[in-house]
Structure 1
Amino acid sequence: MGSREYPLVLGAVVALNVGFPDPVVATRAGQELPVAYSLPEEPRIQIGTVDGDGSSLFGVADAIRLRDGRILVADGGSGSLKFFDSRGAFVRAVGRAGDGPGEFRRLGRVAELEGGAVAALDPLLGRVTVFSPDGGLARTHDVSRDFRSTGRSVHLYGFLANGALVGLEEIEGEGVVEANYGDFPSSTLTYRAPVVQPVLIDTLGRTVTFGQSMPGNENLYQRQVSVGSERIRVGGQTVSAPFLRKVAVAVRGTWIALGPIEGHLVSAFNARDGVPQGHVAVFGGPPPKEVPQRVQDEWIDEKVVRFPRRTERRTWRDRYEDFLASAPGPMTFPPFKALALQEGGAVWREVYDPALEEGGPSHWIVTDPSTLGFGGTVVLPPGFRPYDIGRDYVLGGWSDELGIEFVRMYDLIEGSSGGQR
């Protein structure tokens, strides 16, 4: 597998500062990136089965490799944490679906903490459950209680090694943008762009802010009101679009990486002493691509075709067109789709390319803070999504053609000598 060329907007830059001053910028334009890692054709370990025993997986939310070599899978379908040995054989499961101690309504991120305990997040209940290294229930903590009591809203993304949670808290007031297209408050297309502040929530529930506030995820909501003879029905749904702004966040060990996917700046923080102190600014990447008018028209067609009456389709088409026309500049695809962190703090950014086949190989740019520049590129197998990236492995989820879920672990081979192409 040879090198892959990505035109760089600002070049390959990493600037390390103490505190949060503006990072120093150096540029290298038009850089051709080498291959950072390649993968063999076959995974070292594959977990999953169609037999319905303890190894079967459904709705996997996360998976990590523990320090002793075991693999932990957050299996959302069963509401349990499943432990596998270093060869992928099923060992035991802890937890189940429910609201009680040691139970989960919706499994989220998991992490191995200092000392070997395992923490699991339930984003629906806003609760953290900690299990001992052997799987016994140690404690639970209602993280969202303080936020609910004050009306604050926070989205949680993952654990640091000391058990603290990393999140983005919405800031009300100045900077928040809202717009309605239609007959508000009845049937309307609502756009909202909040402002968010990175926060750290420690194991005692105390909140510490770090970094700087930034624009949060853009949201588009389709709200419908219908009046019948006896009652009024209110319904709606969140509208997806590849050109809406998003903030990506990754957490691993003592490192935090976050930034807007439509930009070329990712901020990475090292919380080695419990509080994010170091600021690493990662620049550069492929330039954003303008969304062709044909793609915008097809996006609108997809959204309005579900309405049964022609008048409704025309009304909602006008609203979507008004939304696109109100944008301050041309609609663009983001340069990146997602962030991930490798053991040691290297930042992986997934390149967004509308020309790439859906479900095909994913392309990543790796930036290692220790080298002050791009480490190179990685191509991951079709349909494979990374959960945990070690120094010499990548663990992630994959589904076969029947939709059966598996967790796979591949070796990471430095340079271009692997089998994935």
Structure 2
Amino acid sequence: MSQPTTRGCITTGILVLTLCSVGCGNPSEDAGNGLEVVVRDSAGVSIVENAAPAPDSRLPWEFGTQPSLSIGAVDSGEADQLFRVTDATRLADGRIVIANSGSNELRVFNADGSHAATWGGRGEGPGEFISYSPTAVASWRGDSIAAVNPWGTRLSLFDADGNHGRDVSLDPTMLDVIDLLPDGKIFTSSGGGLSGNMTGSSGLVRSNAEWGILDEGGALLASLGEFPGSEFYAVFAADGSLAGGMPHPFGRGTLGAVWGGFVSIGVQDSYEIKAFGMDGSLVRVVRREGDPESPNHADLDDYYARRYADLPDEDRISNPNAVRDMPLVEAYPAFSEILSDRAGYLWVREYRTAAWTVFDPEGRAQGLVETPPGLRIFEIGEDYLLGWVYDELGVEYVQLWSLSRQLTS
């Protein structure tokens, strides 16, 4: 989980946006490269309308050709043999803390990749984790390091030396931790998955989830309202009770991330990101042109053919039969991921690609960047990416990649 701090607006050499100030007569400008932005005020809310960057365009930002650090090993039996990594964060001194949920530990590595310490462990006591947690880790208020244990309904806080300080009990209705704010607040939601008491007929279902901000004690500070959860394919029994279900492979949901001093929420049905203040008030709406395409049944068949390609013949036939009646969603998600960096920029990933649209701290599109393929990004610093990959053998690695932002004023 990244913890961004806004450092001001930076413009790029090839995608400089000439903006008309809010409230002027004609706020639409074109910088000559086809990228247009309109900024207006609506009852105190900033509305930022962006043109879509050309699909083949790229910001002049460069990543290393190889990771500068890679932590992971095959059958070493040591701390660098990772299992079910869920998150990682880089501390100010260069150490990397990895949430290794398969062993219910935080594994700490020095800047050179050597193992420094292991914190936590499996159990229900203070500072211990259960049920494939910790699910996330981040620097928190002061010099604390927070690890999320949702099934234990708490955050566990450690100091820089790994000493367990205290646990923070989370609101039991808001256990899906989206992100952590550096000042000690918690961005969270109630989840919005399938419920066992649902009734109906087989097909697509979607439950709403409440999103909110918890205070440093884990109590609800501000509600942000309800947003749609992920689209599921639900199968109901003859009596109407829920018999089973699975996420739709092209299902849309709601994503979020901390963005500077705000929290941002994007419903994947359209390309729109909303930013909220700590009191729950809407302060900014960022939109980008682009209508998601609609999948067809051939796309769905192709997805499952690829998913089940490595199964034995019998399973490869029976598994697709289990989803043969799955309906299509109206459209693909408008985007697939939201992150923000420590310079206050918002990164929104294009659906199923390595390209991201980058927005400046005010919500104006700067252009596209393409991150290393296969890298699941946990954190974006001013000059690095921290993420996770696995190889063809399923061996997991946490990697650090250099990032050079070639910017001009």
Q: Same fold (TM over 0.5)?
A: yes
Q: 1:265 aligns with which of 268, 272, 289?
A: 272
2:365 equivalent to 1:374: yes
Superposed, 1:292-331 pairs within 5 Å as 292-296=296-300, 317=324, 320=326, 323-324=327-328, 331=330
Amino acid across the alignment from 2:117: R
Q: Does 1:394 align with 2:385?
A: yes
Please give the alpha-carbon distance, in whole angstroms, between the structure 2 residues aligned to 1:204 and 1:155.
Answer: 16
Q: Is contact 2:85-2:102 (8 Å) kept?
A: yes
CA distance in 1 between partners of 2:273 and 2:384 (Å):
23
AA at the equivalent of 1:244 = G
* Structure 1 contact 250–341 (Cα < 8 Å) conserved: yes
Question: Which TM-score applies when normalising by structure 2?
Answer: 0.76
Q: Is residue 180 from structure 1 mapped to residue 200 from structure 2 by the alignment?
A: yes
Separation in 1, partners of 2:355, 2:185: 31
Match of 1:201 in 2: 214
Indicate how the Cα distance of structure 1 residues 340 and 385 shifts in structure 2: closer, same or farther if over 3 A, else same.
Answer: same
What are the Cα deviations for residues 244-289 of structure 1, in whole angstroms up to 9, with x where unaligned? 2210112366442211123111123455xxx466723221154201
2:29 matched residue in structure 1: none
Distance between the aligned counterparts of 1:391 and 1:76, measured in 2? 27
Per the TM alignment, residue 124 of structure 1 is displaced from its structure 2 partner at its CA by 2.1
Give 2:189's match in structure 1, choosing from 168, 171, 177. 168
Q: Is the 8 A contact 1:220 1:240 kept in 2?
A: yes
For the residues of structure 2 that align with 1:168 and 1:94, how far apart are their CA atoms?
Answer: 27
SS in 1 for 2:67: coil
Q: 1:410 Cα deviation (Å)?
A: 0.7
Q: Counterpart of 2:216 in structure 1: which amino acid?
A: T
Matched residues in 2 for 1:94 and 1:194: separation? 37
Q: Which amino acid aligns with 2:80?
A: S
Q: Quick one: which of 220, 234, 248 aligns to 1:241? A: 248
Q: Residue 6 of structure 2 aligns with which residue?
A: none
In the other structure, the counterpart of 2:62 is 38
Q: Which moved more, 1:290-299 or 1:74-83?
A: 290-299
**Could you tell me whether the CA contact under 8 Å between 1:17 and 1:279 is conserved in 2?**
no
Shift, 1:48, TM fit: 1.6
CA offset digits 1:59-111 (Å, max 9, x no partner): 10100111222111111121111111122221000001122211111211111
1:69 and 2:73 equivalent? no
Change (3 A) 1:31 1:54: closer
CA distance in 1, matches of 2:40, 2:170: 32
Question: Which of 250, 256, 263 in structure 1 is aligned with 2:263?
Answer: 256
Matches within 5 A, 1:280-291: 280-291=284-295
> Could you tell me whether the CA contact under 8 Å between 1:14 and 1:283 is conserved in 2?
no
CA contact (8 A) 2:45 2:282 kept: no
Contact preservation (8 Å) 1:180, 1:191: no
Once the two structures are superposed, residues 173-196 of structure 1 have per-residue CA deviations (whole angstroms, 9 ceiling, x without a partner) of: xxxxx7732xxxxxxx35432233
| Aligned counterpart in structure 2 of residue 279 of structure 1, from 268, 276, 283 | 283
Gaps of 5+ in 2: 1-13, 16-33, 193-197, 309-313
Which residue of the partner structure matches residue 27 of structure 2?
Answer: none
Task: Pick the aligned partner of 1:83 from 87, 108, 114.
Answer: 108
Q: Does structure 1 residue 121 correspond to structure 2 residue 148? A: yes
Q: CA deviation at 1:290?
A: 1.4
- What is the CA–CA distance in structure 2 between the aligned matches of 1:12 and 1:196, rounded to whole Å? 34
The residue identity in structure 1 corresponding to 2:291 is P
Partner of 1:48: 72
Residue deviations 1:13-34 (CA, integer Å, cap 9, x gap): 585979x855434454675754
> What is the match of residue 135 of structure 1?
162
Cα deviation, residue 208, structure 1:
2.5
| Matching residue's letter, 1:70 | R
Contiguous gaps of at least 5 residues in structure 1: 5-9, 148-152, 172-177, 182-188, 227-233, 357-361, 417-421
In structure 2, the residue matched to 1:341 is 340
Q: How big is the shift at 1:218? A: 2.5
Q: For residue 155 of structure 1, what is the aligned residue in structure 2?
A: 176
From the superposition, tell whether residues 17 and 46 of structure 1 become closer, same or farther in structure 2 (CA, over 3 Å). Answer: farther
Which stretch of structure 1 is more off in the superposition, 254-263 or 379-388? 254-263
Q: RMSD value over aligned CA atoms? A: 3.6
Query: CA, structure 1 residues 56+16, in 2 after alignment: closer, same or farther (shift >3 Å)?
Result: farther
CA contact (8 A) 1:17 1:280 kept: no
- Matched letter for residue 343 of structure 1: R
SS where residue 152 of structure 2 aligns?
coil
Q: Deviations over 1:317-346 (max 9, x none)?
A: 5x53xx55xx7xxx2112211111111321
Structure 2 CA distance for partners of 1:313 and 1:67, relative to 1, 3 Å: closer
Partner Cα distance (2:117, 2:191) in 1: 39
* Cα distance between partner residues in 2 of 1:403 and 1:64: 22
Identity %: 26
Say if 1:247 and 1:156 are closer, same or farther in 2 by CA, change over 3 A.
same
Task: Pick which of 260-269 and 381-390 moved more.
Answer: 260-269
Q: Distance in 2 between matches of 1:180 and 1:306?
A: 29
SS at structure 1 position matched to 2:93: coil
Distance 1:14 1:70 in 2: 42
